[in-house]
Structure 1
Amino acid sequence: MLQITSAEMAVFVATLSVAILSPGPGVIAVSQGAFALGRRHALSYGWGLALGASVWCLFALLGLTALFRVAPWTLTALTLAGGAYLVWIGAQMWRHAADPLPDPAGGGMSFRAGVMLNLANPKPALFYSAVLLSIFPAALNLADKGAIYMVALSVELFFYTALASLMALPLLRRRYLASKFWIDRAAGLAILALGLSLILRP
């Protein structure tokens, strides 16, 4: 039986929605992918991003915050590893900006690639940990945790589906094709900067 209230869940959904709307590596990558390859391929990638982000919610529900508190080095290691991966992704986007559009069958916009990108960004772990502690009671039963996770996954899936569909519209794709080099360079630089901010953050 659920102990959490509908009001608590509504606050959670609203807070999560606002956080997802802030530009991050997932938003940048799925937008660029939708421009380049269209809706069908971007959707798979976007759903991978959604699952990857929701995994951090699951980890937070299972006690990730407590692990960070007991062993702070785990957060440092996770942050450095995630930052390094984002730097690599950004550098690759910058380097290949002048290349022709990728082959959709090449796997660069796969479901797995989407999962890996959001798992490389530890910021959702900190976000979910803080939000869960501030909105919901400390003692959550299994049903509560399951409901929270399913809501988080649903919100993530809705957002990335909407984003991939919007960014793949023919008008936006035509504009992307006309300015591919500079858009890819800007997207790569943004993701690289996000990765560096994680590595260099005091």
Structure 2
Amino acid sequence: MIEGFVSLGLLWFVAAAMPGPNFFAVVHTAVEKGRAASIAAVLGVVVGTAAWALAGFFGLQALFAVFPSAATLIKLAGGAYLIWIGIGLWRNAGASRAGRQPKVPSIGRAFLFGLSTNLANPKTAAFAASLFAVALPSGTSIAVSLLAVALVCFISLVWYSVVAVIGSTSPFQRTYARLRSVIMRATGVIFAGYGTRLMLQQ
């Protein structure tokens, strides 16, 4: 059992550490809105992770197998949302920050941004279900399975919190300020690319 949890934790960490929509959502929030908002975005990502992990554990893939149209609709909606974010980032890349009055970051909006970015990728549920099937033996109790869900959420919380703290530091902020237009356009392309790939995947 311990070996299964270690395997689950390592595989989930590797998956979380690979740059994807969640990573770029946290970094973007950190450099644009500050540390408090980026931590709120992290919490949104973690809640989304819990939702998809539970969905994967309770057989969302089996439901999709019975109702494939539901899976298609969720993929299309999630992909369209990621593309919409990407277009917005690209369009706002040229907007200068100079001379603008600083605004108090919306913690709730940052949380929803992290949550919706995570929920826009239903592939997370399939990945979680696959990991649980490999790492946990058949017949594992619900309590142990829920502990596994808590483990992946904790790993996501720690990793993305580190990303948020680094992204909101002064050196990172200064570098970002010099390259803001390029970084935002690149991030926009990444979001749109993920969304397009999600919509085209069979």
Which TM-score applies when normalising by structure 1? 0.91
Aligned 1:67-78 pairs, distance under 5 A = 67-78=63-74
Paired position in structure 2 for 1:160? 160
Equivalent residue in structure 2 for 1:79, among 75, 80, 103: 75
Q: 1:140 to 1:66 in 2, by over 3 A?
A: farther
5+ long unaligned stretches in structure 2? none
CA-to-partner distance for each residue in 1:144-184, whole Å, 9 max, x for gaps? 12211111111111111111011112101001011111111
Paired position in structure 2 for 1:146? 146
Cα shift at 1:94: 0.8
Matched, 1:64 2:42: no
CA distance in 2, matches of 1:104, 1:191: 25
CA-to-partner distance for each residue in 1:32-84, whole Å, 9 max, x for gaps? 22122222221111111121122100111112122122222222221111101
Paired position in structure 2 for 1:33? 29
SS in 1 for 2:153: helix
Aligned 1:1-202 pairs, distance under 5 A = 5-101=1-97, 103-106=103-106, 110-202=110-202
Give the superposed CA RMSD: 1.7
Are the aligned partners of 1:42 and 1:109 in contact in 2 as well (CA < 8 Å)?
no
CA distance in 1, matches of 2:195, 2:107: 23
Cα shift at 1:15: 0.3
SS in 1 for 2:137: coil
* Residue correspondences, number: 198
Are the aligned partners of 2:37 and 2:106 in contact in 1 as well (CA < 8 Å)?
no
CA distance in 2, matches of 1:48, 1:78: 19
Identity level (%) = 31
CA-to-partner distance for each residue in 1:78-117, whole Å, 9 max, x for gaps? 1111101100111111111122458343568521221111
CA distance in 2, matches of 1:123, 1:104: 34
Which TM-score applies when normalising by structure 2? 0.91
Are the aligned partners of 1:59 and 1:125 in contact in 2 as well (CA < 8 Å)?
yes
5+ long unaligned stretches in structure 1? none
